[in-house]
A and B are shown apart, each in its own frame.
Chain A
Amino acid sequence: GESVGLHLPTLSVQEGDNSIINCAYSNSASDYFIWYKQESGKGPQFIIDIRSNMDKRQGQRVTVLLNKTVKHLSLQIAATQPGDSAVYFCAELAAGNKLTFGGGTRVLVKP
């Protein structure tokens, strides 16, 4: 079946630096992607989304890039803060409004 996967399981970043989290997807027909942040013991929290008719979308300190040619998605966090420490998931919206989650990347912010 189709899947969404990540390249890096853990990312350590110095406070104040930028973070980049990557995600590969395999369903070329996918047209909507979402990034979630999950803190320990909590449910996923929406960060930002992007549709396939876009290649970049910016939010507050976050930017999502979509490269449909290589089926790659990335999340950039600017000026990473301790509160950004969490696990980040990309997700793909499929038929029936179902979400398929990637494997997750843990971001550890070092002071």
Chain B
Amino acid sequence: GAVVSQHPSWVICKSGTSVKIECRSLDFQATTMFWYRQFPKQSLMLMATSNEGSKATYEQGVEKDKFLINHASLTLSTLTVTSAHPEDSSFYICSASRSNEQFFGPGTRLTVL
């Protein structure tokens, strides 16, 4: 149990376009999901905490208008990278929380040309 999926697993887009990444908890309900960003050869950095039915909480330095998070149900959170630029190219990873334990998705590789 406690499987988390992400879709797509990778995406290539042109600069200026928006990209939506989905995070789903497949076999449990998660009132809280987290979004992380990981640049090559670096660690995971928390971007925001997504709470079902309420606004996301963003970490310092993360632009909320650029990284739109929607947690519309107990099994789905989405991250939309708006007006993407090459510097947004990264590995985006979500996690879903159950009983204070986080279960991670497989990640989404975003490449902005």
Contact = CB atoms under 8 A, between A and B. Distances in A.
The answer to whether A and B assemble together is yes
A41 B38 CA distance: 11
A109 B42 CA distance: 20
Contacts of A100: 46
Interface stretch (B13-21, B64-72, B80-88, B105-113): B105-113
State the main secondary structure of chain B at its contact with A: strand
A97 interface: yes
A102 B106 CA distance: 19
Given A97-B102, A99-B34, A44 B44 contact: yes
A99 B106 CA distance: 17
Given A42-B106, A43-B93, A43-B107, A103 B43 contact: yes
B43 A104 contact: yes
Nearest to A99: B102
A43 B102 contact: no
Contact of A42 (B46, B57, B107): B107
Interface residues of B, number: 24
Nearest to A102: B43
Contacts of B103: 46
Interface of A: 36, 41-46, 89, 93, 96-104
Ranked nearest first, the 4 interchain pairs of A and B with the lowest CB-CB distance are A43-B104, A101-B43, A101-B44, A43-B107
Interface of B: 4, 6, 32, 34, 42-46, 49, 57, 91, 93, 95, 97, 100-107, 109
17 contacts: A41-B107, A41-B109, A43-B4, A43-B93, A44-B93, A44-B104, A45-B104, A46-B101, A46-B103, A89-B44, A97-B32, A97-B97, A98-B34, A99-B34, A99-B46, A101-B43, A103-B43
